[in-house]
């Protein structure tokens, strides 16, 4: 299409100088001189999370998106330096409360690796089950957000309704709807009885039936497919180059999953597949997660079937008995990690979570806790995938990535 330029002097609006946007004034001037338009989406906007997106559009086509993360930064890493190792457990769950068990698990595994704590088999199964329940919950939450970003309110309500089952399961196991702090060094807080396990087993089957109605109304909906297909495409090379992680990397055709590459807990004893797709567009990023929900529910069922009897807390931690209840603080308050740096990789719902603890070997608080969350890792790929798409696709791509600013900002 031929372009017609009008030689009208355009002044950049004054508010762009007073809004503390993290771009140089020269950039703003350049945008206004070249017939483009700057749109500030967020941090308080129905179609963005708590993050400002500075969108440069030419007509309806997005030229560039500059993220301005940090709006919900809570300095979790700094706070962690002033607390006991066990006091950090509730803290490190906070970045993504839907995905609490995976965040919790990653942190605990660093401590266990540093102290060479052997975890009992039953505790490992319970941990795996919790992690997968949280994964399902997070994927449902992201699906709901994607639906409401596309204007599909039924697609928003169904996953939240289905997610209540996950919350109920977590309540029955841990006592809290999501941030349960259930996983502790050496095992889990308490055992799970058989009737609860039976309930969770039945719940996964009930959930699959409900997911079918969600599939009918949202996943197979022609308008949804029209909005998401071939939108925000990241090729395999681009996805690797920009360091995309998790289901979004797998949607671009890279078969990478920490649970398979470096299996932790009992993932190597269970049979499951990595859902992969080659398309790399918004719809397949969503589909990969939908397939992961099915895999996760299968993992939960396998965990319940194969769960052995025995202790749920390591003998190294609870020396006196099988139960840590009542002596939790006494057993764990004086944890001191040997000097050095310890790192683990965990596959959270949205991707790889990197936990790294540096200890000086003598204090009972960490010297440094480094958390790299998946949201922060795929932010670049997320921004790159929006180039050249239409303005209305911004929300579709946002939803297809399930970007969660509190998680990325930490």
Partner 1 sequence: MIDIFQILNYFFEIFSSDMMDIPLIAPIVDYLMQIPLLNILVALILWKPFFAVVIMPGLGVLTLYLLYIVWYERKLTARIQWRVGPLEVARPIRGAIQALADGIRYFFQEAIVHREAHRPYYVQLPILAFIPVLLPILFIPAGSAVGIYTPYSIQLIVTFIALIPITIVAIGWAANSRFAYIGSVREAFMYFAYEVPFIIAVISMIFLYGSGDAYIAVEKQSTIPGVLLNPIAFVVYIIAMLMATSRLPFEIPEADQEIAFGPFVEYSGILFGLVMVLAYEKLYIMTLLFTILFLGGWSGIYCPLLGDLNGPLWLFIKSVVVISILVIVRSIYARYRLDQALRIGWTSMLALSIVALIIGGAVGVWLS
Q: Which residues bind partner 1 (CB under 8 A)?
A: 37, 39-40, 45-47, 60, 147-158, 161, 217-218, 221, 223-224, 226-227, 390-395
Residue with tokens 């596309």: 150
Counting Cβ atoms within 10 Å, is residue 108 exposed (0-12), middle (13-18) or buried (19+)? buried
Find the shortest distance in angstroms from Cβ 369 to partner 1: 36
Find the shortest distance in angstroms from Cβ 305 to partner 1: 30
Taking the least distance from each CB to partner 1, the nearer of 41 and 130 is 41
Find the shortest distance in angstroms from Cβ 188 to partner 1: 33
Nearest by Cα to 387 from 279, 240, 233: 233
Find the shortest distance in angstroms from Cβ 214 to partner 1: 11
Find the shortest distance in angstroms from Cβ 223 to partner 1: 4
Taking the least distance from each CB to partner 1, the nearer of 339 and 392 is 392
Find the shortest distance in angstroms from Cβ 349 to partner 1: 23
* Cα atoms in the Cβ-side hemisphere of radius 13 Å centred on 172: 19
Under a CB-based contact definition with an 8 Å cutoff, are residues 246 and 352 in contact? yes
> 368-372 and 351-359: which strand pairing?
antiparallel
| DSSP codes of every residue in 178-207 | S----EETTEESS---HHHHHHHHHHHHHH
Taking the least distance from each CB to partner 1, the nearer of 314 and 395 is 395
Taking the least distance from each CB to partner 1, the nearer of 249 and 394 is 394
Distance of alpha carbon 122 from alpha carbon 187, whole angstroms: 9
Taking the least distance from each CB to partner 1, the nearer of 3 and 309 is 3
Taking the least distance from each CB to partner 1, the nearer of 368 and 390 is 390
Nearest by Cα to 335 from 120, 180, 186, 183: 186
Find the shortest distance in angstroms from Cβ 27 to partner 1: 17
Find the shortest distance in angstroms from Cβ 221 to partner 1: 6
Terminal-residue alpha carbon distance, the chain: 45
Taking the least distance from each CB to partner 1, the nearer of 145 and 300 is 145
Q: Output the CA torsion sign for 90, 91, 96, 101.
A: negative
In 3-state terms, what secondary structure has residue 41?
A: strand
| Residues making up the chain, counted from first to last | 410
Tokens of 348: 């959270």
Taking the least distance from each CB to partner 1, the nearer of 151 and 361 is 151
Tokens of 339: 């000097």
């Amino acid at each position: 299409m031929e372009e017609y330029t009008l030689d009208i002097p355009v002044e950049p609006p004054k508010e762009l100088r007073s809004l503390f946007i993290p771009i140089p004034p020269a950039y703003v001037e350049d945008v206004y001189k070249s017939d483009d338009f700057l749109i500030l989406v967020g941090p308080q906007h129905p179609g963005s999370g708590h993050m400002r997106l500075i969108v440069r559009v030419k007509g309806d086509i997005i030229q560039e998106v500059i993220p301005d993360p940090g709006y919900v930064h809570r300095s979790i890493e700094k706070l962690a330096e002033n607390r006991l190792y066990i006091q950090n457990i509730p803290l490190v769950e906070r970045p993504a409360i839907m995905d609490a068990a995976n965040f919790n698990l990653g942190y605990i595994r660093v401590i266990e690796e540093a102290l060479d704590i052997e975890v009992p088999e039953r505790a490992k199964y319970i941990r795996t089950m919790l992690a997968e329940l949280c994964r399902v919950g997070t994927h449902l939450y992201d699906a709901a957000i994607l639906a409401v970003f596309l204007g599909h309110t039924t697609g928003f309500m169904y996953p939240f309704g289905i997610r209540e089952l996950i919350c109920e399961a977590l309540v029955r196991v841990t006592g809290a709807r999501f941030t349960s702090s259930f996983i502790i060094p050496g095992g889990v807080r308490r055992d799970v009885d058989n009737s609860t396990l039976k309930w969770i087993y039945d719940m996964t089957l009930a959930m699959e039936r409900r997911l079918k109605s969600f599939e009918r109304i949202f996943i197979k909906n022609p308008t949804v497919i029209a909005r998401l297909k071939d939108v925000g495409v990241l090729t395999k090379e681009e996805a690797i180059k920009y360091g995309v992680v998790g289901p979004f990397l797998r949607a671009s055709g890279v078969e990478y999953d920490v649970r398979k590459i470096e299996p932790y807990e009992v993932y190597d004893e269970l049979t499951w597949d990595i859902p992969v797709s080659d398309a790399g567009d918004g719809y397949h990023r969503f589909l990969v997660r939908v397939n992961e929900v099915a895999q996760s529910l299968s993992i939960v069922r396998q965990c319940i079937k194969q769960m052995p009897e025995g202790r749920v807390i390591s003998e190294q931690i609870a020396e006196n008995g099988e139960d840590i209840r009542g002596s939790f603080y006494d057993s764990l308050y004086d944890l001191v990690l040997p000097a050095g740096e310890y790192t683990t990789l965990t596959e959270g719902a949205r991707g790889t979570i990197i936990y790294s603890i540096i200890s000086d070997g003598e204090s009972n608080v960490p010297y440094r806790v480094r958390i790299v969350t998946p949201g922060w890792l795929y932010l670049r790929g997320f921004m790159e995938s929006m180039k050249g798409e239409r303005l209305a696709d911004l929300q579709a791509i946002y939803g297809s990535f399930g970007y969660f600013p509190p998680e990325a900002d930490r």
